[in-house]
Amino acid sequence: MNQRTPFALITCATLLLAPLPALQADESQPTKPNIVFILADDLGLDGVGCYGSDRFQGKTPNLDRLAETGVRFTQCYSTPLCGPSRCLIQTGRYGFRTGGLTNQSANQPSFSNEPSVARTLKQAGYATGMAGKWRQMGDTPGDWGFDEWLTDPTGGGWYWKTSYIKNGQLMETEREVYCPDICLDFAVDFFKRHREQAFYFYYPTHLVHGPILRTPDSESDTKDFYDDNVAYLDKQVGQIVAELDTLGLREKTLIVFTCDNGTAKFGADQSFINGRKINGQKGTMLEGGSRVPLIANWEGTMPEGRVLKDLVDFSDFFATFAELAGAKMPEGITFDSRSFASQLLGKKGTPREWIYVQLGARWYLRDQGFKLTQSGELFDMSDAPFVEALIDPAADSNESNAARQRLAAALAELNPAGGKTDQGVGGRRVRNRADLSGSTRAVGPWKSGDFLPTKRAPNIARKALEITAELEPAGTNGVVLSQGGAANGYALYLTDGKLAFAVRQDGNLTTITAKNPLGSGHFSVQATLGQDGTMALLVDGEQVAEGKAAGLIPQQPKVGFSVGTAGRGAVGDFVTPNPFQGKVTNVHVKTTADHEVTGEKNGET
């Protein structure tokens, strides 16, 4: 492979509620390009040198070069997690329309009832291919319109392995191979075989999702594999650009580079830009959760060195690619996608007024100066991504009051609460929690040492549960929180460093446990018990365990609620009081009554 000067490219999407304008022929429009869409994993603004990263300044030369000779967007927004971001890319529609709201529900949207960007480009004569992470989406890449594809069975990192899936067939190797290299080879072969026709290639690399392992370039004495992984991602971007150059396709190809969400825990402790810490990380509804790099480069067509503050969100890739490809948008469908093709070509375009971000039952609308959440909180974003300042309505200025009214009106028109939820139950759906204010109960926050007697403890009988907490472990065992005992109840605890979630129902115990120890640091954890007994355990937004209990907890426990220790009678497989070594903060318990399940079928809005 020719190792010429590498380039990279990021593209940002723009979000508007207004209907998508019709795409009309334009004599000044260049010939439709090949499109290579590179989607990195768990890499925020702080992971790319040209965004002012302190840690990676000068260490991502290929991405920096793409930005220098192309367009760099400073305000592109994904969702805070991998799965729902990928749903947005494929469908051009927000999660409350498709059901793809969390990593657990990202498989809800189906090719049979949702539009597909690959299928749309195929209808315009494009060959379509993909290589990399797919599992969180439902069905197969082939179902969604990709002619040729290579993937694997995981939503996490897939690195040193002896198997992968190629066009639906399991491929096994005699020795371990580095799967990002297998994906790159597949992409290059696709470029070569389709060089005489327009093509769309989607490259959702596993880099730099955990586990953070050595790369083929890691030195034997390397101690920080995270830097190595970012360097290898940048190297692969350079290899893609160099190969397109060698094939004579560079001036015929739009390269877009972005990331599926903000930086994960492996790099978030060093997420500084020009000496300032980014607010939030992957899995949070803060800037660090969703504000991601976006770089686009089309040599010979796109103006060089532009830096745009235009708002873009992940729904926008669909309409942008369709317009550049001369493809017709599917009819009879409500799209949220807004094309920013004009900006890529050096024109002013029609930038969106706001972007929309949703994760589960939480969402916000953000314009250039303010952010409004589902609970009505307004934040001053003038110093973002470092500071998000909550504004008390009593202290509203004329500007903030106008923003509050403007964004509230836009949210009311979007109406996310009236859409789909991520809590599917046996072909039924539960209404969004925001639509259940009369019967959904969220209580907290609590911290280590807090205790509630039985009469004041959360009412959990025959209710679905969502439990969240922030942890800073200083040991490997101990109860994070517990309610109930050996008859009925639930507990979240550490056992040999691994997070576990236990549920008791009339004495019957069901426990799910993470595969790997937490280790040291700060972690956001979540445990859920669904209406049908489905259990899930998440750490920093990533699912680490799942299982199925017999159903809901049938009776209110006779033992109260405690944080950092357990009361009499252990819910899980531990001996009380089993105190937690470390700090537990920001504990919330949310309950939803079982009668709130509706009879709506999958696929209906």
Burial profile 378-414: b = 16 or more Cβ within 10 angstroms, e = fewer:
bbbbeebbeebeebeeeeeeeebeebbebbeebbeeb
pTM for this structure? 0.71
Q: What is the pLDDT of residues 274-308, one digit of tens each?
A: 999 999 999 999 999 999 999 999 999 999 999 99
What average pLDDT score do residues 58-81 get?
Answer: 98
Phi-psi map region of 117: left, alpha, beta (phi>0 left; psi -120 to 50 alpha): alpha
CA–CA gap between residue 575 and residue 87 (Å, rounded): 43
Residue 334 CB partners (closer than 8 Å, separation 6+):
93, 97
Residue 531, pLDDT score = 85
Phi then psi for residue 401, to 5 deg, are -65, -40
Residue 593, pLDDT score = 47
Rounded to 10 degrees, what is the CA torsion of 422, 427, 428, 434?
10
CA–CA gap between residue 59 and residue 82 (Å, rounded): 25
Residue 592, pLDDT score = 72
Q: Is residue 511 within 8 Å of 573, Cβ to Cβ?
A: yes
Second-level CATH architecture of 425-598: Sandwich (2.60)
Residues of the chain with CATH 3.40.720.10: 14-359
β-partners of residue 149 are 130
Give the C-alpha distances (Å, rounded to integers) separating 225 from 73, 217, 603: 28, 10, 42
Q: Is residue 96 within 8 Å of 108, Cβ to Cβ?
A: no
CA–CA gap between residue 453 and residue 49 (Å, rounded): 53
Phi then psi for residue 271, to 5 deg, are -85, 75
Residue 422, pLDDT score = 55
Of the ranges 13-22, 60-69, 495-504, 514-523, which one carries the lowest mean pLDDT score? 13-22
Concatenated DSSP letters for 356-380?
Answer: EEEETTEEEEE-SSEEEETT--EEE
- Alpha carbons within 13 angstroms on the beta-carbon side of residue 271 total 25
Confidence of residue 310 (pLDDT cuts 50, 70, 90): very high
**What DSSP designation does 27 have?**
T
Q: Is residue 560 within 8 Å of 456, Cβ to Cβ?
A: yes
Confidence of residue 408 (pLDDT cuts 50, 70, 90): very high
- On average, the pLDDT of the chain sits at 88
What average pLDDT score do residues 147-152 get?
Answer: 96
Confidence of residue 554 (pLDDT cuts 50, 70, 90): very high
Confidence of residue 529 (pLDDT cuts 50, 70, 90): very high
542 or 259, greater pLDDT: 259
Q: Is residue 572 within 8 Å of 481, Cβ to Cβ?
A: no
Confidence of residue 454 (pLDDT cuts 50, 70, 90): confident
CA–CA gap between residue 332 and residue 322 (Å, rounded): 16
Q: Which fold has domain 14-359?
A: Alkaline Phosphatase, subunit A (3.40.720)
Degrees, nearest 5: CA angle 316-319-322: 140
Residue 23, pLDDT score = 37
Label the pairing between strands 127-131 and 148-151. parallel
How far does CA 244 lie from the centroid of its chain?
29
β-partners of residue 583 are 472
State what percent of residues in the chain have pLDDT above 70.
89
Q: What is the pLDDT of residues 150-176, one digit of tens each?
A: 999 887 789 999 999 999 999 999 999
Residues of the chain with CATH 2.60.120.200: 425-598
Could you count the other beta carbons within 10 Å of the beta carbon of residue 452? 15
Residue 59, pLDDT score = 97
User: Which has the closest alpha carbon to 510: 547, 467, 558?
Assistant: 547
Torsion sign across C-alpha atoms 39, 240, 278, 69: negative
What tokens were used for 77?
């927004």
Residue 12 clears pLDDT 50, i.e. is over it: no
Q: What is the pLDDT of residues 200-233, one digit of tens each?
A: 999 999 999 999 999 999 998 888 899 999 999 9
What average pLDDT score do residues 319-331 get?
Answer: 97
**What DSSP designation does 317 have?**
H
Residue 426, pLDDT score = 28
Residue 382 clears pLDDT 90, i.e. is over it: yes
Give the C-alpha distances (Å, rounded to integers) separating 467 from 19, 443, 444, 490, 529: 38, 10, 10, 10, 9
**What DSSP designation does 596 have?**
G
CA–CA gap between residue 66 and residue 69 (Å, rounded): 5
What average pLDDT score do residues 370-393 get?
Answer: 96
Residue 194 clears pLDDT 70, i.e. is over it: yes
Q: At 81, which helix (H) or strand (E)?
A: none
Residue 351 clears pLDDT 70, i.e. is over it: yes
Residue whose tokens read 């680490």 = 544
Residue whose tokens read 């586990």 = 211
CA–CA gap between residue 444 and residue 333 (Å, rounded): 40
User: Which has the closest alpha carbon to 241: 260, 258, 221, 257?
Assistant: 257
Concatenated DSSP letters for 433-502?
Answer: GGG-TTTEEEEEEE-TT-EE-GGGS---TTEEEEEEEEEEESSS-EEEEEEE-SSSEEEEEEETTEEEEE
Residue 155, pLDDT score = 75
